[in-house]
Amino acid sequence: MAMIEIKDVFAGYGIGPDILTGLSLNVVAGRSYCIVGPNGAGKSTLLKVICGQLPPRSGSVMFNGQDLAGLRTDEVLERGICFVPQDRSLFTDMTIRENLQMGGYILKDSAEIDRRIEGVLEMFPVLKSRLGLAAKTLSGGQQQQLLIGRALVLRPKVIMLDEPTLGLAPKISRQIFDSMNELKAAGIAIIVVEQNARMGLNFADWGCVLDLGRMVFEGPSQDVLSDERIEQLYLGRKRQTEAAS
């Protein structure tokens, strides 16, 4: 049974047009999903709808059989759905430890938050040695790891990442994917929107191609990767250049 059931969702901003135009997707616990598609397809909008930032105009988002309609983002978060947005929204003047503590603010029990931070640091040793430094002293890749670590303090069931490797060098991007592989191994479902479609699809179990606000193709990632029509339309023709990089 699906953990998140998105059914025929229409959504948009203000009085603007529908950006999601009848989108459906089932998210199974522990499975990883990569969402690809052209700019403006509605990928970020979909993540905003799931986490409660943007209420759908129609259709439904169910989580373990419960409709998420009308819940605030913090209430969605409490149920175990974490969103790491694209804008790297760290508290850059605060220390790394303080940023991790902010991740657990809804827990209120500070001893419990500290215990969980210890667990997160085992996954991200690079943060451990820098706990007392301001977040702004971290490199782009380390900041992305801190964002993921901050989300993990809540022990989410699902973590959604919007273009986590944007602007990062290939080597650092691979480190971010290594971190995501650890999340996968920990049984957390992952929904990642990724510009580097091949890298994202090679990581994920399930691939979703979004265009014009709806799902135009989904299936096991390897099927998406090997579909010639999808490749031509959405993945670009890049095999050689990628192999060379």
Residue 223 and residue 195: Cα distance in Å, rounded? 18
Residues 34-63 touching ligand ADP, rule: CB under 6 A, are: 37, 39-45
Q: Which is nearer to ligand ADP, 43 or 157 (CB)?
A: 43
Residue 83 and residue 91: Cα distance in Å, rounded? 16
Confirm or reject binding of residue 44 to Mg ion (CB under 5 A): yes
Confirm or reject binding of residue 13 to ligand ADP (CB under 6 A): yes
Q: Which stretch binds ligand ADP (CB under 6 A): 12-20, 61-69, 120-128, 153-161?
A: 12-20
Shortest spacing between CB 65 and ligand ADP, in angstroms: 27
Could you tell me which of 1, 9, 26, 32 has the C-alpha nearest to residue 157? 32
Q: Which stretch binds ligand ADP (CB under 6 A): 33-41, 115-123, 147-155, 170-178?
A: 33-41
β-pairing, 66-67 vs 58-63, is antiparallel
Cα dihedral sign, 118-120-122-128: negative
Confirm or reject binding of residue 241 to ligand ADP (CB under 6 A): no
Q: Which stretch binds Mg ion (CB under 5 A): 43-51, 133-141, 166-174, 217-225?
A: 43-51
Amino acid identity of 27? V
Could you say which of Mg ion, ligand ADP, none residue 40 binds, taking C-beta under 5 to 8 angstroms by partner kind? ligand ADP
- Determine contact, residues 48/39, Cβ cutoff 8 Å: no
Q: Which is nearer to Mg ion, 44 or 196 (CB)?
A: 44
Largest CA distance in the chain: 53
